[in-house]
Amino acid sequence: MHTRTSIVTVLAMACGAAMALAQGVEENTYTHDEFGICLAAPEDWTIEKGGGDFLDPLCALSFGDGLLSGGLTAEEADDSSVADLADADEAIFKDGAASFERLRDEELSRTPGEWLIREFSYETSSGLDMHYICLYVKRDARLFALKLYTGGELDGAAAEGVQALFDGFAFLDEPTASGDDPEADSGSTSDGEDEASAGPDGGDEASAGSGGGGATGGTTSGTASGATVEHPWARWAEGSWIEFRIVTETGGSRTEMVQKSTLVRKTAEEITLKMEGKMVSPAAMDMPPSEMKSPARIPAGGGSGGSANATKTGEGDETLDVGGRSLACHWVETEILSDGSRTVTKVWTCDQVPGATVQSETRGAAMTSTMMLTGFEAKK
């Protein structure tokens, strides 16, 4: 794999693909029942279901051996317009860029909600040429972003695929062009609030994400179908932080990056984390910083990014050393079987650590990924 291809792939990981499970989605269609959305990818694209937090988008996407990569994310949004939200996202890339050019800013007439396509190219401070295109959709208090990255120009089959991908995003209550009901597609893989959690959460028994995914402990409230728990960062004071080393091996290539999450704001309603990262190999490169906002109370069971096919295969207790500190951890191992492939995820959690996750290992037929806590500060 060329260096540029690897760099593009890791940039996509910074938006979430680093921890995406190597679990295929049947017939290239992803659905999320709780959010009421579906995404149909072109046949020559790869779409994989993730866990729904910063390191793990709702689903990860790639085309051309990873030369064009990205993912679909969802986050709570304020009263700002979709254009203002896209501006804030764009500013992350513009700040510190050696050069920057906006190529496309198109409001779409689709409904429901506000729809916008934003495209730009930029040169990083290290001299890497990058191309970014994103479909932003804001509906009520939630922003969906279908973000894609590549190096150089976006043309030919890649450009046609991106447009087909954007056309393939829809709400389940939105009629498709052909009049079909996307929810009726029996070949799609669906996420729902009653599913068991998978991915870096490690299932509903041990659910915590470095970017604020699930929660361990906390107070549960609500009904059985809508129960919530305290966000795993809610018990910590502003300024608390964690840092992870993430190593991913896939398709014969190896990437390594460092990701830091810092609690910058906390209210009774919302948790805000600042996300910073840098690629270590195959080439050193700083990632654009970003902020991720989450409700102070989240769905019980680690959120909505799980899989109904996840089966717990073991759990236990183990002491891990992090920077000279011994942490008493609880681990849970889960297994997913899909279309003959097997993915095993093992997650270690500790209530002394902001976000709770200490280590996560994912092993699949095409990918292995390890996330290891290298340092943290827990302020109260």
* Model pLDDT, residue 21: 34
* Model pLDDT, residue 209: 40
CA distance 225 to 223: 5
Peptide bond preceding 282 in cis form (omega within 30 of 0): yes
* Model pLDDT, residue 317: 97
* Beta carbons of 340 and 334 less than 8 angstroms apart: no
* Model pLDDT, residue 158: 84
CA pseudo-torsion sign 49, 53, 56, 60: positive
* Model pLDDT, residue 216: 41
Q: What's the pTM?
A: 0.55
DSSP 248-284: EEETTEEEEEEEEEEEEEE-SSEEEEEEEEEEEESS-
CA distance 195 to 306: 6
Cβ neighbours of residue 273 closer than 8 Å, sequence gap 6 or more: 54, 211, 212, 233, 261, 262, 263, 264, 291, 292, 293, 294
Domain spans of the chain? 3-191, 199-377
Strand, coil or helix: 196: coil
* Beta carbons of 154 and 177 less than 8 angstroms apart: no
Residue whose C-alpha is closest to residue 17's, from 290, 193, 246: 246
How would you label 338-364 residue by residue, b for 16+ Cβ within 10 Å and e otherwise? Answer: beeeebebbbbbbbebbbbbbbbbbbb
CA distance 62 to 159: 13
Cβ neighbours of residue 354 closer than 8 Å, sequence gap 6 or more: 232, 233, 236, 240, 241, 242, 261, 263, 376, 378
Peptide bond preceding 299 in cis form (omega within 30 of 0): no
CA distance 25 to 118: 27
Q: Which helix (H) or strand (E) holds 85?
A: helix 82-94
* Model pLDDT, residue 65: 58
* Beta carbons of 233 and 347 less than 8 angstroms apart: no
In a structure prediction context, what are the per-residue pLDDT tens digits for the chain, which is 380 residues long?
Answer: 333 333 333 333 433 333 333 333 345 788 888 889 999 988 878 777 765 444 457 888 887 655 678 889 888 888 899 999 999 888 888 877 889 999 999 999 999 999 999 999 888 776 778 889 999 999 998 999 999 888 767 778 888 889 999 999 999 886 544 444 434 443 444 554 333 333 333 333 333 344 443 334 444 454 444 688 888 999 999 999 999 999 888 666 778 889 999 999 999 999 999 988 888 877 777 777 888 888 888 876 543 334 445 789 999 999 999 989 999 999 999 988 765 668 888 999 999 999 999 999 988 776 788 999 999 999 99
Superfamily for domain range 3-191? Mog1/PsbP, alpha/beta/alpha sandwich (3.40.1000.10)
* Beta carbons of 143 and 80 less than 8 angstroms apart: no
Residue whose C-alpha is closest to residue 14's, from 210, 370, 275: 275
How many residues are there in the chain? 380
CA distance 102 to 200: 35
Name the one residue in this structure whose structure tokens are 């709780």: 34
* Model pLDDT, residue 315: 95
State the fold for domain 199-377.
Answer: YmcC-like fold (2.40.360)
Residue whose C-alpha is closest to residue 291's, from 309, 265, 254: 265
Strand, coil or helix: 201: helix
* Beta carbons of 315 and 206 less than 8 angstroms apart: yes
